[in-house]
Each structure stands twice: as structure tokens, then as C-alpha cells.
Amino acid sequence: MATLKDSHTAVPVPGLAGRLVHAASVLGAQTDLAKWIGVSRSQTSRWAAGETRPSAEAAQAITDLDFIAARAAMVWDESVVTDWLHGHNAFLGGATPLDMVRKGRTAEVLQAISAEAAGAFA
């Protein structure tokens, strides 16, 4: 898997510091977020401090994870969201929601949230 590192296509991300904090809390810690993105923990700290900006791919992954976690929290208690993101999901062909988000398949994860919220079975 290619890592999502700083590049010449770095983009500004409004509210990035808050998104980083939320995404890190969903994954457990900033170290876990950095590992999920494929960068060092110090890199995510530099992003949060505004010292550098993430690549377009890293910014998209952070934004998507933040959005998915917020959407899932509308359906389940926040304490369940982290386990759900890490768990294998029948609506996603056995993949975890985190794996799908990392692959850019966020729409499928949203569909899985909606299906589970509606009480559907895979």
C-alpha cells in the first residue's frame, strides 16, 4: 500500500486540527492515526500545528474518517463507533470500515451505516 505522505499537492484543510483530534480519538491515539495514514506520529503533529500540510490523499483520508465517525455516532453511542470501525462487516464483504475508508470507498461505508441503522441484514 502506498503511504499518504506530504507532497507537492499539499492542500489546505479547513478545521484540520479538529479533524485530526477527532480521527485520532476514534482510532485510539494520534499514533494509531499516523499508522493508519502511513506517516510518522510527528508528521500528524506538524499538520495539527499548521507547520506542514498533508497531501491531498492524506487530507481526504482524514476528512473521510472524521465524517464516517461522526455519521456513525448519529446511529450508535460514541463508545460503539471505534469497535464498529475496527470490526469486520458483512455489508462490506467482511472488510473493516477502516480498511474501506483507507481505500477511498467511503460511500460503501455510508451505505453500511444506513443499512445497519435501518435494521437490514447482510
57-112 pLDDT, tens digit per residue, is 999 999 999 999 999 999 999 889 999 999 999 999 999 999 999 999 999 999 99
Report the residue count for the chain: 122
CB of 34 closer than 8 Å to CB of 74 = no
- Model confidence at 10, pLDDT cuts 50, 70, 90, reads low
Q: For 94, left (φ over 0), alpha (ψ -120 to 50), or beta?
A: left
Asked if pLDDT for residue 115 goes beyond 80, the answer is yes
pTM over 0.85: no
Q: ∠ at Cα 104 (52, 117), nearest 5°?
A: 115
Identify which of 61, 104, 101 has the alpha carbon closest to the alpha carbon of residue 84. Answer: 101
